[in-house]
Amino acid sequence: MNRLGRWLLFAIVFAGTTAAAQTVKSQMVRYPSGNEIVSGYLVTPTTSGKHPAIIAIHEWWGLNDWVKAQANKFAELGYVTLAVDLYRGKSTTDPMVAHELMRGLPQDRGIRDLKAAYSYLASRPDVESAKIGVVGWCMGGGYSILLAQNEPKLAACAVNYGALPTEPQDIAKIHAPVLGNFGADDIGIPPKAVHAFADAMKADGKTADVKIYDGAGHAFENPNNKTGYRPEAAKDAWNRMVAFFKANLQ
C-alpha cells in the first residue's frame, strides 16, 4: 500500500472511531422529590429530537467526578443521562465517612428520589419516556435493582456489584431486563448470592444476564480503587452495558 493509501485508510478508521461519540452538554438540575427539591448531574446529547435515557446511581462515595464521567460516556452514546445525588450534596473519599453516609440514607427516601428522577426524565421533551433505564455501582447497584422493583415502567436495569434480592415477592416486582456484573472475590456480594438471584429470576420467568469475573473483587470497574481495579474486566463490563442498553433502549 502506498503512502496515500495508508493515509486514506488511517483517515477512515479515525473517522469511524470518533463519529460514534456525540457532543454533549452538562449541567446541575433540580427537581421535586415529594415535598423536597433534589438535584442531579444531567448530561444531554446536543442532537435534536427524543432520546433514550439512563439514571446513573453513585457508589457509597457520593456524586463524584467518576460517576459524572460515566454519565458523560453514556450521553456521548446518545442517552440523556441523569446522575442522581442521593446524599444531597455530600461526597467523600474517606471510607469511614462513606459508610456513615450510606447508613444515614433512609432506603425509602432513596427510592423516592430515584422515582422522582425517573419522573423528571420522563417529563422532559428530549426524552423518549418508554425508554428509560438505570445503572448503578456498589451501593448504587443495589438501588438500581430497588428502582426496578418500584418502577414498573423501567425499561432496563444494570447492576454493578450491588446487593440483590432473592425473595419471590421482590423478584415478582421486577419487570425490566437485568444485566449484572460482579467479582468472584467480592466478599460482600459473593458468587453464591449472584447465582441465587439469577436462579430466582429464571424461576419467575424473568430475564437476567449476570457475569462473574474471576480475579475481581468489589468495585473492580473504578480506577480509583487502586488495589482492586481490574482494567480488562472493567472494559468488558462496560461493553456489556453498552450492548445491553442498546438492545433494550434504542
* pLDDT at residue 2, as a whole number: 41
Paired residues of 157 in beta bridges: 134, 178
- Return all residues near 120 (Cβ < 8 A) that are at least 6 apart: 29, 31, 40, 82
d(CA 39, CA 103) in angstroms, rounded, equals 20
What backbone phi and psi angles, to 5 degrees, belong to 144? -60, -45
* pLDDT at residue 91, as a whole number: 98
* pLDDT at residue 20, as a whole number: 58
Query: Radius of gyration over alpha carbons of the chain, in Å?
Result: 19
- The pLDDT tens digits along the chain (250 residues) read 443 343 333 333 333 333 458 999 999 999 999 999 999 999 999 999 999 999 999 999 999 999 999 999 999 999 999 999 999 999 999 999 999 999 999 999 999 999 999 999 999 999 999 999 999 999 999 999 999 999 999 999 999 999 999 999 999 999 999 999 999 999 999 999 999 999 999 999 998 999 999 999 999 999 999 999 999 999 999 999 999 999 999 9
Query: What integer best gives the mean pLDDT of the chain?
Result: 93
Question: In which region does residue 219 sit, left (phi positive, over 0), alpha (psi from -120 to 50) or beta (all else)?
Answer: left
Place of cell 436462579: 199
Q: What is the pTM of this model?
A: 0.91
HSE value, Cβ hemisphere, 13 Å, CA-based, for 250: 12
Residue 23, classed as helix, strand or coil, is: coil
Q: How many CB atoms lie within 10 A of CB 224?
A: 13
* pLDDT at residue 14, as a whole number: 34
pLDDT digits (tens, 9 = 90+) for 58-96: 999 999 999 999 999 999 999 999 999 999 999 999 999
d(CA 11, CA 133) in angstroms, rounded, equals 35
Instruction: Show me where the domains of the chain are located.
Output: 24-249
Asked if residues 110 and 141 have their Cβ atoms less than 8 Å apart, the reply is no
Whole-Å CA distances, 133 to 11, 81, 185? 35, 9, 28
Paired residues of 26 in beta bridges: 43
- One of 2.40.50.100, 3.40.50.1820, 1.10.10.2120, 3.30.70.980 is the CATH number of 24-249, namely 3.40.50.1820
The alpha carbon torsion through 58, 169, 194, 186 (nearest 10 deg) reads 50
d(CA 63, CA 166) in angstroms, rounded, equals 28
d(CA 132, CA 114) in angstroms, rounded, equals 12
